[in-house]
Amino acid sequence: NVESSIPEPQRDAWKKHTKKGFTTKDEFEDETVRHIETTLARSLFNCDELAAYSGTALAFRDRLIVEWNKTQQRQTFADQKRVYYLSLEFLMGRALDNAMLNVGLKDVAKDGLKDLGFRIEDVISQEHDAALGNGGLGRLAACFLDSLATMNYPAWGYALRYRYGIFKQQIIDGYQVEIPDYWLDFNPWEFPRHDVTVEIQFYGWVRKYQGENGKTKASWEGGEIVEAVAYDAPIPGYKTATTNNLRLWSSKAASGEFDFQKFNNGEYESSVGDQQRAETISAVLYPNDNLDRGKELRLKQQYFWCAASLYDIVRRFKKSEKAWSAFPDMVAIQLNDTHPTLAIVELQRILIDIEALEWDEAWTIVTNTFGYTNHTVMPEALEKWSVPLMQNLLPRHLQIIYDINMNFLQMVERKFPKDREMLSRVSIIEESQPKMVRMAYLATIGSHKVNGVAELHSDLIRTTVFRDFVSIYGPDKFTNVTNGITPRRWLHQANPRLSELIASKLGGYEFLTDLTLLNKLEQFADDKEFKKEWQEIKYANKVRLAQHIGNTTGISVNPKALFDIQVKRIHEYKRQQLNILGVIHRYLTIKAMSPEERKKLAPRVSIFGGKAAPGYWMAKTVIHLVCSVGEVVNHDKDIGDLLKVIYIEDYNVSKAEIITPASDISEHISTAGTEASGTSNMKFVLNGGLIIGTCDGANIEITREIGESNIFLFGNLAEDVEDLRHAHTYGNSFTLDPDLSRVFTAIRSGTFGDAARFNALCNSIVDHGDYYLVSDDFSSYVKTQELVDEAYKDQEEWVAKCIQSVSRMGFFSSDRCIQEYADMIWNVEPLVPQ
d(CA 22, CA 267): 52
In our burial notation (b when 16+ CB lie closer than 10 A, e otherwise), range 760-772 reads ebbebbbeebbeb
375 vs 683, which CB is nearer to ligand PLP? 683
* Span of 21-29, 375-383, 513-521, 651-659 interacting with ligand PLP by CB under 6 A: 651-659
* Span of 146-154, 359-367, 538-546, 648-656 interacting with ligand PLP by CB under 6 A: 648-656
Kindly state the smallest distance separating residue 289's Cβ from ligand PLP, in Å: 8
If binding is defined by CB under 6 A, does position 226 make contact with ligand PLP?
no
Give 398-424 as a DSSP string.
Answer: HHHHHHHHHHHHHHHHHHSTT-HHHHH
**Hey, which residues between 724 and 753 contact ligand PLP (CB under 6 A)?**
none
CA dihedral 397, 400, 405, 407 (to 10 degrees): -170
Among the options 674, 679, 694, 784, which is catalytic? 679
Helix axes 576-591, 774-793, angle to 10 degrees: 60
If binding is defined by CB under 6 A, does position 139 make contact with ligand PLP?
yes
135 vs 446, which CB is nearer to ligand PLP? 135
If binding is defined by CB under 6 A, does position 348 make contact with ligand PLP?
no
If binding is defined by CB under 6 A, does position 488 make contact with ligand PLP?
no
In this chain, which of 336, 652, 775, 807 binds ligand PLP, going by CB under 6 A?
Answer: 652
**Hey, which residues between 755 and 814 contact ligand PLP (CB under 6 A)?**
none
If binding is defined by CB under 6 A, does position 678 make contact with ligand PLP?
yes
Going from the C-alpha of 650 to that of each of 56, 171, 180, 606, the distances in angstroms are: 26, 8, 12, 17
Q: Confirm whether 217 is a catalytic residue.
A: no
State the DSSP code for 813: B
484 vs 678, which CB is nearer to ligand PLP? 678
In this chain, which of 112, 136, 165, 559 binds ligand PLP, going by CB under 6 A?
Answer: 136
Among the options 106, 339, 531, 574, which is catalytic? 574
Largest CA distance in the chain: 93
Residue nearest to ligand PLP (CB): 680
In this chain, which of 653, 662, 724, 822 binds ligand PLP, going by CB under 6 A?
Answer: 653
* Span of 232-240, 267-275, 276-284, 679-687 interacting with ligand PLP by CB under 6 A: 679-687
285 vs 308, which CB is nearer to ligand PLP? 285
User: Coil, strand or helix: which one is 386?
Assistant: strand
Q: Confirm whether 569 is a catalytic residue.
A: yes
d(CA 329, CA 331): 6
Q: Confirm whether 703 is a catalytic residue.
A: no
C-beta of residue 278 within 8 angstroms of C-beta of residue 253: yes
Q: What is the CA angle 625-629-630, rounded to 5?
A: 115
C-beta of residue 390 within 8 angstroms of C-beta of residue 398: yes
447 vs 699, which CB is nearer to ligand PLP? 699
| Cβ-Cβ contacts under 8 Å for 178 (sequence gap 6 or more) | 167, 168, 169, 170, 287, 614
| Cβ-Cβ contacts under 8 Å for 181 (sequence gap 6 or more) | 131, 164, 165, 166, 167, 168
In this chain, which of 135, 234, 328, 340 binds ligand PLP, going by CB under 6 A?
Answer: 135
Among the options 569, 571, 586, 611, which is catalytic? 569
**Hey, which residues between 683 and 702 contact ligand PLP (CB under 6 A)?**
683
136 vs 234, which CB is nearer to ligand PLP? 136
Going from the C-alpha of 587 to that of each of 51, 467, 567, 748, 752, the distances in angstroms are: 47, 46, 21, 16, 12
How many residues at the interface with ligand PLP, by CB under 6 A? 12
In this chain, which of 54, 338, 680, 710 binds ligand PLP, going by CB under 6 A?
Answer: 680
* Span of 16-24, 52-60, 649-657, 685-693 interacting with ligand PLP by CB under 6 A: 649-657
Task: Identify the burial level of 145 via C-beta atoms within 10 angstroms of its C-beta, where 0-12 means exposed, 13-18 middle and 19 or more buried.
Answer: buried
Sequence-separated contacts (24+) of 530-535 with Cβ below 8 Å:
530/501, 530/505, 530/803, 531/796, 531/799, 531/800, 531/803, 533/501, 534/498, 534/501, 534/688, 534/799, 534/802, 534/803, 535/795, 535/799
In this chain, which of 282, 288, 374, 679 binds ligand PLP, going by CB under 6 A?
Answer: 679
**Hey, which residues between 512 and 571 contact ligand PLP (CB under 6 A)?**
568
d(CA 47, CA 39): 13
Q: Confirm whether 621 is a catalytic residue.
A: no
**Hey, which residues between 286 and 315 contact ligand PLP (CB under 6 A)?**
none
**Hey, which residues between 654 and 673 contact ligand PLP (CB under 6 A)?**
656
Q: Confirm whether 568 is a catalytic residue.
A: yes
Q: Confirm whether 71 is a catalytic residue.
A: no
| Cβ-Cβ contacts under 8 Å for 15 (sequence gap 6 or more) | none
168 vs 683, which CB is nearer to ligand PLP? 683
Among the options 568, 575, 611, 808, which is catalytic? 568
C-beta of residue 302 within 8 angstroms of C-beta of residue 282: no
* Span of 134-142, 294-302, 474-482, 575-583 interacting with ligand PLP by CB under 6 A: 134-142
By annotation, the residues acting in catalysis are: 375, 568-569, 574, 679, 683
Chain residues in the site for ligand PLP (CB under 6 A): 135-136, 139, 568, 651-653, 656, 678-680, 683
